[in-house]
Structure 1
Amino acid sequence: MPKSIHSTQPPLKFIPQRFNPLVLKMMSWCLPFVLRVRTRPWLPAGIVKIEAKDAEVLAKLYQEFQAGKIRFLIAFRHPEVEDPMSMLYLLSRILPKVAREKGISLQSPVHSHFMYERGMTLWAGKWLGWLFSRAGGVPIRRGRRVDRNAIQMARDLFANAKMPIAIAPEGGTNGHSGVVSPLEPGVAQLGFWCVEDLQKANREETVFIIPIAIKYSYVNPPWKKIDWLLSKLEADSGLPVAEISLTGKKQEEILYQRILHLAEYLISEMEEFYRRFYHQNLPEITTAITSEDTAKPNDVLITRLHRLMDTALQITEQYFNVQPQGNFIDRCRRLEEAGWNYIYRDDIADIKSLPPLKRGLADWVAEEADLKMQHMRIAESFVAVTANYILEKPTADRFAETTLLMFDMLSRIQESTLPGRPRLGLKQSMIIVGEPISVSERWKASQGNKQASRQGVSDLTKDLQVALEELIKD
């Protein structure tokens, strides 16, 4: 298991947004080059084509925003790490072009503030924090009960900034273009606060939330690369040669059986790992992969996977003394924050001034916390996995997404991690702009008491979830 943290670290300071139009111009100018470079063989597959549906709707909203008639928040899907590039391309390239074609007058820059997860700067480097800050980004620590700095800045920007703000309500990537993870209520709450702030300032702008979906697909179905990656995963896991009948079966059926076979093997190995070394009670469940009812073994595997995820999270929760509350995503967020509190020590004014004993203990705590968080990271990788994701649409895209999640798991466990995900093929991005959701109307209907307000936020979150799910349907 790789251990990237070996010593205690300084606290994670808040990075205030310092929007700089020159930095944005530089990013916009470099974007096509960055997209091309990411298609090089030694890097993960890049995006060679980005298109948008109903971009005119968003262009008109920007026109009304710039005229002082409305305020809005862009709530975008967050399936992959490439999403920031897709959104930047939409705002800097597609939207101005559509506006010109439709005779919609827009002022430059056509951009948005945005929120990003503070942990991104840990794996990417401090330069990303500098860049995002100058691009108008606001960092948030997802697991904190209340990240006051981030919330206050986002609330002020929503109500008063010269640009809209964009937020991914799922809170993080899930690796699935065809599945929307449960939404966090923060977007809806910010919408209600914005209406309140405008009311207090005697301003009449109408507040909207704009759902936007992002879907990725391969330009050419990478069946051979999927077969190659599956073979590699089978070899890396030490899986015996699968006894799968090839007679009369299509390519998709063969690959699906191999994925099931590999999934059962990996789950069995991890169950035994937790039984033997963490003394967990995990009764054995046999799965008949050769069953004629294809859905039956799949359902059993998902049940075992969820049980395994719960076990991994329980072990981490016990270590950090965190109570298991909410769904898998909620639990992962709280554990991430708990781990960071052990590693990035707010309670130590100067790490270098610590005596050797205390420094050694602090380093010990940080290293062990990082190791314990690996259990959570494995569970986090599979929060969007469902029983019928491939069966519903046995496309190369869904086969690739599932296989890459397995790759992520093995990479976290192996002694030496691979340099990023392997390249399976060139990808294209489709961005779909949804119908605006009026927050102002809902705010009026939810006035009266705190219970009504909470219910209003909950209802808005559910409706936003439905809107995003509708946008990704083919």
Structure 2
Amino acid sequence: MSSDSSEIIVPGRADFIAAKPTPSVIRVAQRYSNAIVGVLGISGVDYDQDELERFRELAGERVLLTPNHPTNTDPALVFHLSAQVSQSFRYLACRESFDHCLGLWGHLIKRIGAHSVIRGTADRASFRATRELLASPASKLVIFPEGEVYSQNDTLLPFHDGVFQLAFWALEDARKDDESATLFIQPVALKYKFTTDMRLPILFSLNRLEHFTGSPIAHTASTYERLRGIGFAMLRSLEREYRLPSPKEKDEDLESDFTPRLEAIKEAILQRVALAVGIPDPRGETLPERMRTLIHAIETVTRDEPDPATKTPYDTELRRQQRERARPLLRDLDRIANWIAVYDGYVREDPTPERLFDLLVRLERECFGRSYLTGPRRARVRLPEPLNLGDRLAAYRAARRAEVRAVAKEAEKRIFTELRSR
């Protein structure tokens, strides 16, 4: 239930979409959950039966499920989990995802139990609905706390504290009616592994990218050396595009750390878009938060319509031009979203087919607007020990921000440990 940022909001659409869970729709979808993940290229899903049984024991409890978000397949995988435990989950989904397929996708996911949130802003209607849902007895709500699809199989983006703040508020609400009420945080670790030899598809991808970026064709070099050559060629092109200095050729070292240059490009994109939008310093502590602030600002400008009582054809034309100006800015922000978790050394430190695939998919999206690299995968779903917020409520009341951060970091840690296990 995620989306990239390239979609401009449709004028006049509703800001908040409430869930309308329909039991018959949920039952049918759960019955075919294996087929659903199969269509998405997942040949099977592995669970730990003891973990599933432990989760089933929480059937009567309030539970916030917090999965990692490496791919757009993840929501379907979590829905598959709901079928395994014979429970109905509710979902928080980005607002733009409800507009896909002319709105037909939105009609489906709200009947499965999804309600919307506008990322990058204080969406009060969504926060209120989320808080009320979490406070309800036996509720099961899925929120991806990274907030973005980050396209890396075994790393994480920092979790948003606000997700866990909502959980504490909901628990305090529940305790007004029931002093023994509690709420569990259930971390969910999602990881994918190829079921076939990916060497040939990876070589084809390297060939495509070398031809497109002008990187020297190096068939005798190692896969990793070819990958760095492509990354090097792309860095120089991006630095020219964003008017950033590149090291002189005699000073360049293919073995040097590319991360500072990549971070400089991300920052240059943010500043370029912020200047165009009229926001001198995008709000947010992290790169994803600052990016979301800009996306929301662009969507707000393109959504606002002149007063119908005074609108003229000229007003309509000005608004059309505004939307046209916004499209290149959103494409720039798409570039950041595509590279959001990338750092130099990701493949070198663990050169698995999955990590090579992660990076090559990003490079192909950057160059071709889509990825041609595919392969059958099997998914692994792990449910680490849940956190009982009732046990942490006293600490939260003594130091609210610190305890919210501690819970977020603990959920993050439990997922990361599972992702790094073989």
Is the 1:112–1:164 contact (alpha carbons within 8 Å) kept by the matching residues of 2?
yes
1:342 to 2:344 alignment: no
Q: How does 1:403-422 map to 2 (within 5 A)?
A: 403-412=360-369, 418=370, 421-422=371-372
Aligned mate of 1:22, from 8, 21, 24: 24
Residue 415 of structure 2: aligned partner:
468
| Preserved contact between residue 62 and residue 137 of structure 2 (Cα < 8 Å) | no
What letter is aligned with 2:80?
Answer: Y
Query: Alignment RMSD, CA only?
Result: 2.5
Distance 1:172 1:240 in 2: 30
Change (3 A) 1:287 1:222: farther
Equivalent of 1:283 in 236, 245, 251? 245
Residue 72 of structure 1: aligned partner: 63
Q: Does 1:132 align with 2:109?
A: yes
Equivalent in the alignment of 1:262: 230
CA contact (8 A) 1:139 1:150 kept: yes
Measured in 1, the distance between the counterparts of 2:197 and 2:118 equals: 37
Matched residue SS, 2:397: coil
- Describe the superposition over 1:354-377 as per-residue Cα deviations: whole angstroms up to 9, x where unpaired: 311100111111111122121111
Structure 1 partner of 2:12: 10
Q: TM-score, normalising length from structure 2?
A: 0.91
Deviation of 1:311 after TM superposition, in Å, equals 0.5
- Whether the 8 Å contact between 1:8 and 1:363 is mirrored in structure 2 is no
Q: Distance in 2 between matches of 1:119 and 1:81?
A: 14
* 3-state SS of 1:139 partner: strand
Measure, in 1, the Cα distance between the counterparts of 2:77 and 2:272: 37
Shift of 1:243: 4.9
When residues 79 and 243 of structure 1 are mapped into structure 2, their CA distance, relative to the original with a 3 A threshold, is: closer
Q: Does 2:314 align with 1:357?
A: yes
Name the residue aligned to 2:139. Answer: 163
1:114-153 alignment runs, 5 A limit: 114-144=91-121, 146-153=122-129
Provide the rounded CA distance (Å) in 2 between the counterparts of 1:265 and 1:392: 22
Question: Deviation per CA, 1:389-430, whole angstroms, max 9, x where unpaired?
Answer: 111111111101100001111134xxxxx5xx3242101100
Question: Is the Cα–Cα contact under 8 Å of residues 339 and 370 in structure 1 kept in the other structure?
Answer: no
Partners of 1:288 and 1:143 in 2: how far apart?
43
Aligned to 1:60: 54
**Structure 1 segments unaligned to the other structure (5+ residues):** 39-45, 97-109, 247-253, 276-281, 413-417
Q: Which residue of 1 aligns with 2:378?
A: 428
Residue 167 of structure 2: which of 163, 176, 191 is its match? Answer: 191
Distance 1:338 1:33 in 2: 39
Matched, 1:455 2:402: yes
Q: Does 1:444 align with 2:419?
A: no
Q: In structure 2, what is the equivalent of residue 272 of structure 1?
A: 240
Aligned residues: 415
Q: TM-score, normalised by structure 1?
A: 0.82
Q: Secondary structure at the match of 2:358?
A: helix
Structure 1's 404 and 4: CA in aligned 2 closer, same or farther, altered over 3 A? closer
Letter in 1 for 2:296: E
Equivalent in 38, 46, 49 of residue 51 of structure 1: 46
Contact 2:382 2:418 (8 Å CA) reproduced: yes
- Which letter maps to 1:302? T
Q: How does 1:238-257 map to 2 (within 5 A)?
A: 239-243=214-218, 246=221, 254-257=222-225
Distance in 1 (alpha carbons) for counterparts of 2:249 and 2:144: 37
The residue aligned with 1:374 is: 331
TM-aligned CA distance change 1:397 to 1:15, over 3 Å: same
- In structure 2, do the counterparts of structure 1 residues 16 and 350 end up closer, same or farther at CA, with 3 Å as the change threshold? farther
Per the alignment, do residues 7 and 363 of structure 1 end up closer, same or farther by CA in structure 2, a change over 3 Å counting? farther
**SS in structure 1 of the partner of residue 32 of structure 2:** helix
Q: Is the 8 A contact 1:72 1:165 kept in 2?
A: yes
